[in-house]
Amino acid sequence: MRTVFFGPFIGEFGWELLFWQGWVRKVCKGEFRDYCKIAASVPGRQPFYPYVDEFWPLPDSFLKLGISGHGYYTDGWRRGYPGKQYETYTIRSVIGPLRHLHRPHRVWVEKPMDQPDVEPQAEVMLAEFKQRLPEDTVYFVPWKANRYEPDGLEFGLQIPQGMRPTSDMPVIKHIDFQYQLLEYLEPTSEGERTFRRIMPDERKMIAIFPRYRVIRRTDKNWSSEKYVQLIQRLQSVWSDCLVAIFGEPGGSYFADGVPPGCLDLINVSSEHRMDIQVEALKRCVIALGSMSGAVLVSLAAGCPTLIWGFAASQARYYRENFMGTPMIYHTDIDPSVNTVFDLLKALQLMLHNWGGRSSL
């Protein structure tokens, strides 16, 4: 029996959900159904790969680097780029009816990461995986150039030798939905058992995804103070529901401790974190958070979701809701707590009228 190897996936969580795992599902049930199928990714992401025979976690030697994902690859990939982005302003001249007007214009400045390049370290990791695999293994490595002949599909990373890959450079070819098998995310049996040990009763829950990233696009972060205010209000109004905090260390607020009365699903075993959270989403009546790849997981798991973010991203979030889960996307990256709460009530009413999942 021949072997096919998918990975190692080292990029953004949202990209793994939208532009990788569905394709792996498709080809595992198709051309490679009689192969030994192996996927490699961040520990705990087994729910993305229900049709592989083996799941190999990334080694600690790579994980401890604390690398920030970027599409199919990472920040600091080569010569420090893609780099850390800083928000700044320049003065733009605009011709008015009577005179030249000088207006501030927001721009993002990209500076190289102050760290060893990731590319050679990823190559070492891949070489270590290859030592465990047969010589005739078929490889699909998302941070390399790939071609899947049955569909004439090209995807992955295409950076000419020596080129410095800045954030605005089109070096990534992603896999469109038409080439994927997109299904609801389901936990593994181990994920179900582990979550029930954490939460043995059947209490309804509200999921909160408090995005917090410091390397790229910090403007997408809602403040921790607003999340705390919102949580306190939810606990007061819907006291029969348990507020659960989702995410992972390095990408979410409250990794150092969740607000009082909340269920901490961040500081659980990394080996089972995503599995636990997917199982927990089956118990959640609603989810909410600022724009991120994580909130797309709640949609993929079938949990109605409230998202707030930039107006320019609204259409993309509806398009990337590939299971058609009920959602509201509010076009304001920094809404008030009152606005978020009102939108939550609107989503609750929408669910009640549609006769869907139990409302709050």
Confidence (pLDDT) at 97: 56
Return the higher-pLDDT residue of 90 and 96.
90
Instruction: Give the 3-state secondary structure of residue 33.
Output: coil
In a domain, 49, yes or no: yes
Q: How many domains does the chain have?
A: 3
Q: State the pLDDT at residue 1.
A: 92
Poorest-confidence range of 13-17, 56-60, 89-93, 314-318?
Answer: 89-93
What's the whole-number mean pLDDT along residues 305-331?
95
Answer whether residue 301 is part of any domain: yes
**What's the whole-number mean pLDDT along residues 44-68?**
94
Spatial distance between the Cα atoms of 280 and 298, rounded to a whole number of angstroms:
10
Q: Do 152 and 280 fall within a single domain? A: no
Question: For residue 224, what pLDDT is reported?
Answer: 87
Domain span at residue 103?
80-111
Tell whether 100 and 123 lie within a shared domain: no
pLDDT of res. 107: 65
Q: Residue 92 pLDDT > 60, yes or no? A: no
Of 33-37, 120-124, 177-181, 193-197, minimum mean pLDDT range: 193-197
In angstroms, the CA 279 to CA 245 distance is: 14
**Six token digits for residue 226:** 């607003």
Together in a domain, 89 and 130:
no
Kindly state whether residue 219 falls inside one of the protein's structural domains: yes
Q: Does residue 85 sit in the same domain as residue 136?
A: no
* pLDDT higher than threshold 80 for residue 212: no
The band of 221, judged by pLDDT with boundaries at 50, 70 and 90, is confident
* Domain assignment present for 313: yes
In a domain, 184, yes or no: no
Same domain, 121 and 40: yes
Domain co-membership, 197 together with 305: yes
For 339-349, the pLDDT digits (tens) are 999 999 999 88
164 band by pLDDT with thresholds 50, 70 and 90:
confident
Backbone dihedral angles phi then psi of residue 274, each to the nearest 5 degrees = -65, -40
pLDDT tens digits for range 234-269: 999 999 999 999 988 877 888 889 999 999 999 998
CATH, residue 322: 3.40.50.2000
103 & 120 share domain: no
- Band of pLDDT at residue 223, cut at 50, 70 and 90: confident
The token duo for 38 is 């192996």
Residues 291 and 221 in one domain: yes
Residue 324 maps to a domain: yes
- Residues 6+ positions from 154 with CB-CB distance below 8 Å: 145, 146, 147, 148, 173
**Number of C-beta neighbours around residue 73 at 10 A:** 27
Q: Is residue 44 part of a domain?
A: yes
Examine the domain organization and report whether 59 and 85 are in the same domain.
Answer: no
- Domain co-membership, 325 together with 253: yes
Task: Kindly state whether residues 253 and 307 are assigned to the same domain.
Answer: yes
Is 265 found in the same domain as 144? no
Residue type, 254: F
**pLDDT confidence tier of residue 350, bands split at 50, 70 and 90:** confident
pLDDT at 351: 86
What is the pLDDT at residue 250? 78
Mean pLDDT of the chain, nearest integer: 90
Q: Is residue 207 part of a domain?
A: yes
Residue where one domain finishes, among candidates 179, 213, 232 = 179
Handedness of CA 69, 129, 267, 232 (dihedral sign): positive
Q: Which of 75, 76, 102, 78 is nearest to 89 (CA)?
A: 102
pLDDT of residue 281: 96
Residue 192: what residue type?
Answer: E
For residue 84, the model assigns a pLDDT of: 80
Of 152, 179, 206, the position where a domain reaches its end is 179
